Structure 1
Amino acid sequence: MWSHTFNKRVALGILTFACAASSLAYVPDDRWSTTTSGSTGNYGDPATLAWSLVPDGTRIPGEENSNLINYLDDLFNVSANSTDLTNRPWFSLVEESFTRWSDLSGLTFVYEPNDTGSSLETSSGVLGTRGDIRIGGAYLDGTNGTLAYAYLPDIGDLVVDTGETTFYSNSSNNYLQLRNVLMHEIGHALGLLHVESSSESLLMEPTINLSIDGPQLDEIRGIQGLYGDAYEKSNNGLGNGSYLRATDLGQLVSGGDLAIGTDATGGQTVLATESDFVSISESTDYDYYSFTIDAASLVDLTLTPLGGVFSQAVEGGAESAFDANSRNDLQLALYDTDGTTLLKLANETGLGGVEQLSNLELSSAGTYYARVSGSTSSMQLYELQLSAAALVLAETGDFNGDGLVDLADYTVWRNSLGDAGANLAADGNYDNLVNAADYAIWKNQFGSAASTGVVVGTTNVPESSSLVLLGIAALAITHTRLRRTTNRLD
């Protein structure tokens, strides 16, 4: 753990939002309201921001003029022979720091190659002129002091201490020290303040921690609470709030499963390679997912709220336990292939409760739709899991599911005759009772292939065979009833 500290120019933000912090864990300031791409909408809505690197000589209020580009060129032994900064070896590290936040949220970042060099803090972004978030650097206090600071929205400018040469020149883990500083300060520029935790390592703590790489789970909760999850920027920024724009989970095969949001199951620690995080940020936020089955299936869906339990506090405050698993009362719905016919709704539990739709019989192949929603305007990460098993369509008469309607299926019917709600494999008409009506279904399909209806042989059931089978059925009924009577006497 390094003792370097991060500073922010808008220090009052911590005091202003101290009360909100105790109920959110992450500490939010206001989100961006307007950028070079226009209005950003409301909390949980996606947003696009441009970023730029200010030319050396740009005024930084209260500091020396910016010398960041020359500083980074010297740090990476660059002989500047082009004005195109994207060719510099250090540029990718800056870009990756923005991209990581984008991968985890509804944010989209666009590099603005132009910057007129107007003073930081006082100049808003202008398309084709300068970015919304502008990055400069100056000597602040040298080695082992302040690493950088940033302004909160709607300013968002960022200043790096160019006196920290030894620290920033460390190339370990793809220049983790430089990237973590940039990602921390970008977090401020997006609207996140400092948070402290004695039980976890978080990016937005006021001291740098090199055991992590980028935003951790609580910071992901924070950024998605402000700008939504990554799927909110799908469909040209319209998100997945309707079945027509549902996020496609793919094909759900028998014996297989699908899931989304699984990277949030591992506690607060998030690896740099993980990006599967989804959430409900507002009571008006609906997440639709589609999945396809190619045959009749028995489907299970499980919705689990996530976020973890950990100790947290605003900077300088007293820590307390925080349960991020129980922020919103989530609901789970399944819709038919038309996207609007509700098949089943799960809303049985409260805050932090798991919702399940179990043993749903989907008798037709096609694309179905699951919807996740919340009852309050509270940020909640979650995982949605789906699994499927083959569903034998009893109405075909294929009671044992081997693809043929033959005497083996009659045996299944005979052995379960009279069962109600127990062994219903031979319940051909789905009335929760195995009886003569189900025998009639088997008889009518005898000799066919259940999946295609193709006749096996030249005839279905010969008349003489039918009579014999009916006789057997009558005996079976009598025998079954006697046996069941005997069982009752036992």
Structure 2
Amino acid sequence: MKTTWLIALVLANSAATAVAYVPDDAWTTTASGRVSAGQGATLTWGIAEDGTTISGEDPSDLVSYLDDLFSETSSSSDLTSRSWFSVFQQSVDRWSELGGITFVYEENDNGSMVGGSAGRLGQLADVRIAGSYNDGPSGTLAYTWLPNNGDMVIDTGETSYFSRTASDYRTFRNTVMHELGHAIGLLHIESDTSSLLMEPYINTTFDGPQLDDIRGLHGLYGDVYEKAYSGQGNDTAARATSLGLLSSGGVLGVGLDAAGDQAVAATETDFVSITDGSDIDYYSFSVDTPLEVSLTLTPRGGLFQQGVQGGTQSTFDANARNNLSLAVYDSDGSTLLEQVDLTSAGGAESITGLQLAASGEYFARVLGADDSVQMYDLVISASAMLVALAGDYNDDGLVDAADYSVWRDSQDDIGGSLAADGDHDGDVDLADYVVWKNGFGSSSSGSSPLAVPEPVATLLAAFGMLFARHRRRALSRGC
């Protein structure tokens, strides 16, 4: 038998269109200040004292209920010392590490009514957790107000359900994390092909928010990097998210945990997205030697059946919500090296064989063209840059007699072809022969120069004398 989570108290938007997550409104004002759409937000959370009035319910008895359930012996007013406190802490921390929300514990509570009071720093949390008898065992587990309130009420009529120790109290944690989803603005979604945290029935086969739940978090508050630089995010090269040092044969990446289906392990945290057409993400990477790099930007989100609670389900392609483009910038963060936008929404964009001749920091930029959240991953790989061999005048990767022939055939009265201009001075002369001679035997595979074979050396010596006589005659005509 499925046990329901209770639908959030505010049901005015229960017929909203799924996208696929079902959003209500995000927070606009918290105890920490104003919140801008698609940007990070800080929410305080706390636990109401027993006896606190709950709108439409008996006074809260959550603390004594949990003390009994967990056989707690502490009577300290510091609730963080309770054995059950970690369930709530782990639950808020999980949402905090997945996107633009940051939950901060507020220890103070002025006793205002649960479900009707705005948070105030040092006095009252934005999201207050209380408890009251609702319908007893095997029924509603909890309910939550939507933003800008977010208060939660747990059914203290449950006898043993929340004390199940399996998977570190997963039953209790999934209940709290589901209700926190409502507190940040997510409604119920149903899917016949995927298991999601925000479905209206409890499911303990997974741990915490799944991929579309995380996508919903990003859609309302952005990804975790929107919290960087005091909430300014990584939308400029100066505030780029560093991916580290890239070496030959190495790979760097971001957003890699979004690949695959909707299932998300409790240890996975690497999820990034473009929120809308105005969002920009910059990433930096460094090289300490010339490299040839390739970058691939792949939209993520999954393909699955979905619908609002009680509604008709349809196939939803979360991989194709926003048309993304990719660009790479030089070390100054403004000189464009290459840009691609060759595919429509859902298609990957790639830059291959980009040669970075100088060591230093480079920047990759991701942006979207549509007002819809798009998860993605970005992978950057590198290989050693093929450097032209000195004296390899036919570009075959080996300095040999064939290159001498190119040099020889390039000679004429006006300097000839520049294919054998080994010293890059704008003409082909004996100095370019010296370049070839010094590099003879070298190859792109790393072979060392060899001695010039004697027959070739003899011919070259003779040619050198002819070249010198020809040059003297040319000088005489100019006198």
Bin of the TM-score, shorter chain as denominator length: 0.7 to 0.9
Unaligned runs of 5+ in 2: 408-416, 443-447, 465-479
Question: Partners of 1:399 and 1:51 in 2: how far apart?
Answer: 71
Aligned equivalent of 1:3: 3
Aligned equivalent of 2:471: none
Question: Partners of 1:247 and 1:290 in 2: how far apart?
Answer: 6
Is the counterpart of residue 38 in structure 1 residue 58 in structure 2? no
When you count helix as a share of all residues, which structure comes out higher? 1
Specify whether residues 398 and 230 from structure 1 end up closer, same or farther in structure 2 by C-alpha distance, changes over 3 A only. farther
Q: 1:55 aligns with which of 46, 49, 60?
A: 49
1:134-283 equivalences in 2 (<5 Å): 134-283=128-277
Aligned equivalent of 1:325: 319
1:156 to partner: Cα distance: 0.4
1:395 to partner: Cα distance: 6.7
1:411 to partner: Cα distance: 2.5
Specify whether residues 284 and 116 from structure 1 end up closer, same or farther in structure 2 by C-alpha distance, changes over 3 A only. same
User: Does the 8 A contact of 1:413 with 1:434 survive in 2?
Assistant: no
User: Does the 8 A contact of 1:40 with 1:46 survive in 2?
Assistant: yes
Aligned equivalent of 2:460: 468
Is the counterpart of residue 410 in structure 1 residue 399 in structure 2? yes
Specify whether residues 470 and 377 from structure 1 end up closer, same or farther in structure 2 by C-alpha distance, changes over 3 A only. farther
1:116 to partner: Cα distance: 1.2
Identity across the alignment (%): 49
Specify whether residues 258 and 90 from structure 1 end up closer, same or farther in structure 2 by C-alpha distance, changes over 3 A only. same
Is the counterpart of residue 25 in structure 1 residue 20 in structure 2? yes
1:5 to partner: Cα distance: 3.5
Structure 2 counterpart of 1:349, one-letter code = T
Structure 1 counterpart of 2:30, one-letter code = T
Question: Partners of 2:335 and 2:389 in 1: how far apart?
Answer: 23
Q: Secondary structure at the match of 1:344?
A: strand
Aligned equivalent of 1:118: 112
Structure 1 counterpart of 2:111, one-letter code = G
Q: 1:73 aligns with which of 63, 67, 73?
A: 67
Structure 2 counterpart of 1:174, one-letter code = D
Aligned equivalent of 2:380: 386
Q: Secondary structure at the match of 1:348?
A: coil
Structure 1 counterpart of 2:141, one-letter code = L
Q: Secondary structure at the match of 1:12?
A: coil
Q: Secondary structure at the match of 1:14?
A: coil
Is the counterpart of residue 106 in structure 1 residue 100 in structure 2? yes
1:165 to partner: Cα distance: 2.1
1:398 to partner: Cα distance: 7.8
Q: Secondary structure at the match of 1:165?
A: coil
Q: 1:296 aligns with which of 290, 293, 302?
A: 290
Aligned equivalent of 2:14: 14
Structure 2 counterpart of 1:12, one-letter code = A
Question: Partners of 2:55 and 2:2 in 1: how far apart?
Answer: 28
1:467 to partner: Cα distance: 7.1
Structure 1 counterpart of 2:279, one-letter code = D
Q: What is the CA RMSD across the aligned residues, in angstroms?
A: 3.0
Specify whether residues 397 and 85 from structure 1 end up closer, same or farther in structure 2 by C-alpha distance, changes over 3 A only. farther
Partner deviation per Cα, 1:1-42 (whole Å, 9 max, x = no partner): 733332211122212xx23x2xx1100000000001100112
1:347 to partner: Cα distance: 0.4
1:166 to partner: Cα distance: 1.4
Question: Partners of 1:130 and 1:374 in 2: how far apart?
Answer: 39
1:437 to partner: Cα distance: 2.7
Aligned equivalent of 2:419: 435
1:283 to partner: Cα distance: 1.0
Is the counterpart of residue 314 in structure 1 residue 308 in structure 2? yes
1:414 to partner: Cα distance: 3.1
User: Does the 8 A contact of 1:313 with 1:320 survive in 2?
Assistant: yes
Structure 2 counterpart of 1:35, one-letter code = T
Specify whether residues 387 and 58 from structure 1 end up closer, same or farther in structure 2 by C-alpha distance, changes over 3 A only. same
Partner deviation per Cα, 1:270-313 (whole Å, 9 max, x = no partner): 00000100000011111101111111111100000000100000
1:350-369 equivalences in 2 (<5 Å): 350-369=344-363
Aligned equivalent of 2:472: none
Structure 2 counterpart of 1:2, one-letter code = K
Specify whether residues 400 and 171 from structure 1 end up closer, same or farther in structure 2 by C-alpha distance, changes over 3 A only. farther
User: Does the 8 A contact of 1:195 with 1:204 survive in 2?
Assistant: yes
TM-score normalised by length of structure 1: 0.84
1:109 to partner: Cα distance: 1.1
Question: Partners of 1:471 and 1:166 in 2: how far apart?
Answer: 99
Q: Secondary structure at the match of 1:303?
A: strand
- Report the number of matched residues: 440
Unaligned runs of 5+ in 1: 402-406, 419-432, 451-455, 473-490
Specify whether residues 343 and 188 from structure 1 end up closer, same or farther in structure 2 by C-alpha distance, changes over 3 A only. same
In terms of Rg, which structure is larger?
2
Question: Partners of 1:58 and 1:78 in 2: how far apart?
Answer: 21
Specify whether residues 353 and 445 from structure 1 end up closer, same or farther in structure 2 by C-alpha distance, changes over 3 A only. same
Is the counterpart of residue 128 in structure 1 residue 117 in structure 2? no
Question: Partners of 2:180 and 2:381 in 1: how far apart?
Answer: 39
1:392 to partner: Cα distance: 2.6
Aligned equivalent of 2:411: none
Specify whether residues 125 and 436 from structure 1 end up closer, same or farther in structure 2 by C-alpha distance, changes over 3 A only. same
Q: 2:341 aligns with which of 347, 358, 361?
A: 347
Q: Secondary structure at the match of 1:8?
A: coil
Question: Partners of 1:442 and 1:180 in 2: how far apart?
Answer: 75
User: Does the 8 A contact of 2:54 with 2:60 survive in 1?
Assistant: yes
User: Does the 8 A contact of 1:392 with 1:398 survive in 2?
Assistant: no
1:125 to partner: Cα distance: 0.2
User: Does the 8 A contact of 1:217 with 1:269 survive in 2?
Assistant: yes
